[in-house]
Structure 1
Amino acid sequence: MIHPALARKQRIVVISLLMLTLLTIVVGMGLGYSSLSYDRLLPTLFGGGTFKEEFVLFDIRLPRIVITILAGMALALSGSILQGITRNDLADPGIIGINSGAGVAIAVFFLYVPIDPGSFVYTLPLVGFCGAILTAALIYLFSYSKNEGLNPTRLVLVGVGFSLALSGLMVIIISSAERVKVDFITKWLAGNIWGTDWPFIVALLPWLVILVPFALYKANTMNMLSLHESVAVGAGVNVLRERIVLLGTAVALAASAVSVTGGIAFIGLMAPHIAKAIVGPRHQMYVPVAVLLGGWLLLLADTIGRNIVDPDGIPAGIMVAFIGAPYFVYLLLKK
């Protein structure tokens, strides 16, 4: 049973994060290469703006803001699931190679497969999922032993090894490609938010609508899996089946996100840790906080990055890495 004081604290944190996200959205709508006056935001939102104001807001700013929040939520939830099922606080889809697997699949698809403009937006998450699930399966296979089950330390080491190997493979793949396509892949690797049109939101949203409630439904199972395997088995959990299902969920979330935002790491590492520090380690409590926190963190990183240098700014993935890399080293030393 969840203590009423803790439940009340969670509600306060969730409301605070929603307000913080809303404030960042308002700030982000007014900032940019084509500035939009804040006193014109409400009139423009309700159809009273000029053609330029409506174009900047509805065709440039809002799609980017929405896709960034959704992608941050997906990455944070993916990291929360991975940390729970692997019992490793350093697990993150970007660090252990899942994002790299999706990236290689997307690069091969983009460079060498004839693209249908009408279905490209909706096909990309599926391609990323195929690459990511294959990578995750190999990482799991190399990290698992019959005697001790899934080894959390080996999982991170194997994942980092796969991430480096796949990054090298990415360089080989793009070395002989056309310059225009190479530019796109390079921006993808840097974590540049590129899927900034409404169709990309339509492509990403169903994954979250289905998988976020599913992950919350599996919160008790993740609580059991985060303990020792013998405890989970004693509680009646089919460890192998549940791990595979939840691993597939985490991979799908990460692949759908990076297919439109590029290779962004550390959101899935930081958001769950900060959420646990605030509301405790139970998945029912910290997962909703982590999801909202991930959306806000990526939105904040993108808002700062795209306005700090004119005209293209700094990719969100690099801005997140400025914070996430030292945080990863801190956790590595602590654990």
Structure 2
Amino acid sequence: MTNKYTKQRVILLVFLSLIIITAILSLGFGYSSVSFNRIIPTMLGEGSFKEEFVLFSIRLPRIVITLLAGMALALSGAILQSITRNDLADPGIIGINSGAGLGVALFFLYYPVEAGSFIYMLPIVAFVSAIIIAFLIYISSYTKGIGVQPIKIILIGVGFSMASSGGMVMLISSSEREKVDFISRWLAGSIWGTDWPFILAILPWLLILVPFILYKASKLDLLAFSEPVAVGVGVKVEKERIVLLLAAVALAASAVSVTGGISFIGLMAPHIAKSLIGPRNALYLPIAILIGGWLLLIADTIGRNLNSAEGVAAGIITALIGAPYFIYLLMKRS
């Protein structure tokens, strides 16, 4: 076990290094570029007005937001995979992300609110909307005397995801052009929350829920086994599953409220972490969290530097990578 924890620390160090390297590259590349030899002087307050504006007002908050959102999505996906006992679970695939997005779209279109409080209300609105969708998925997947069926929850979740996305398309068809542009960017998974206040909107959720989930790691291990095994060692299966589902929904909702509809991060990050260290939650969850942040940061950095000043949405880049990976997992299971 000591060797496992040593290996875990080495892997964590590797991904921390990759995040730092990718963040430095992301600081330098972009429509308004800053030469790499000017990054450190600018960070120390010795840059020009343009350099300081690009780094502190545009690049740094976007990088931090992207990292936090990727971490939240990865942890949410890991929780869902354990409580559903299905390796294909992901908050984007089973409808939680699109459910949160539907709530955000309705709020944005029809609820008048002051600009200052809009940012901080978004994660709450997304959470309430996502929890309604998650509740509907949960009760639809529940069979009396058997409980929640893992395969059923995935299939029903996909149905709710399509329905929520369809609802957003209907909203677009009857909205003003400016608001339509916002929802379209959200659907594509564009990192739209790129200012410092958005960090304060998502960070508290992570500060509370990450330690909580790491504390619950042993329960997640047991829930990943069959229900008789979990019940046999004294786990209150339904209670733990509901609490953890709420945590997964909160993490996903807080992320997508500032990044838009990002899928597949919650699918890929846990799988990569498990392949590196094994399936024990206490070992792989910290690694999955870093991988999730790194993957979304890479996707956003690549997307920002493609095409034009607008770039390509990070959600499109993750879909291009994640969809083939999802198909590979389906073929592997069949």
Give TM-score, length-normalised by structure 1: 0.99
C-alpha separation in 2, matches of 1:332 and 1:126? 34
C-alpha separation in 2, matches of 1:213 and 1:39? 37
Q: Secondary structure at the match of 1:118?
A: helix
State how 1:61-100 maps to structure 2 within 5 Å.
61-100=59-98
1:224: which partner in 2?
222
1:293 aligns with 2:273: no
- Residue 42 of structure 1 deviates from its aligned partner by 0.6
- Residue 226 of structure 1 deviates from its aligned partner by 0.6
C-alpha separation in 2, matches of 1:152 and 1:97? 15
One-letter identity of the residue aligned with 2:313: P
2:209: which partner in 1?
211
C-alpha separation in 1, matches of 2:146 and 2:324? 31
Q: Secondary structure at the match of 2:88?
A: coil
- Residue 147 of structure 1 deviates from its aligned partner by 2.9
2:244: which partner in 1?
246
2:199: which partner in 1?
201
Structure 1 stretches lacking a partner, 5+ long: none
Q: Secondary structure at the match of 1:308?
A: coil
1:39: which partner in 2?
37
Give TM-score, length-normalised by structure 2: 0.99
State how 1:1-335 maps to structure 2 within 5 Å.
3-335=1-333
Q: What root-mean-square deviation, in Å, do the aligned CA atoms of Structure 1 and Structure 2 show? A: 0.6
- Residue 332 of structure 1 deviates from its aligned partner by 1.2
- Residue 266 of structure 1 deviates from its aligned partner by 0.1
Q: Secondary structure at the match of 1:153?
A: helix
Q: Secondary structure at the match of 2:305?
A: helix
C-alpha separation in 1, matches of 2:25 and 2:172? 37
C-alpha separation in 1, matches of 2:71 and 2:201? 15
- Residue 174 of structure 1 deviates from its aligned partner by 1.9
One-letter identity of the residue aligned with 1:320: T
One-letter identity of the residue aligned with 2:209: L
Greater CA drift, 163-172 or 261-270? 163-172
The percent identity for this pair of structures is 65
Greater CA drift, 209-218 or 165-174? 165-174
Q: Secondary structure at the match of 1:251?
A: helix
One-letter identity of the residue aligned with 1:180: E
One-letter identity of the residue aligned with 2:168: M
C-alpha separation in 2, matches of 1:173 and 1:32? 33
Q: Do the aligned partners of residues 147 and 334 (structure 1) sit closer, same or farther apart at CA in structure 2, a change above 3 Å counting?
A: farther
C-alpha separation in 2, matches of 1:197 and 1:75? 20
One-letter identity of the residue aligned with 1:167: S
C-alpha separation in 2, matches of 1:305 and 1:40? 23
One-letter identity of the residue aligned with 1:46: L
One-letter identity of the residue aligned with 1:309: N
C-alpha separation in 1, matches of 2:277 and 2:298? 22
- Residue 173 of structure 1 deviates from its aligned partner by 1.7
C-alpha separation in 2, matches of 1:332 and 1:164? 19
Give structure 1 regions of 4+ aligned residues with deviation exceeding 3 angstroms: none
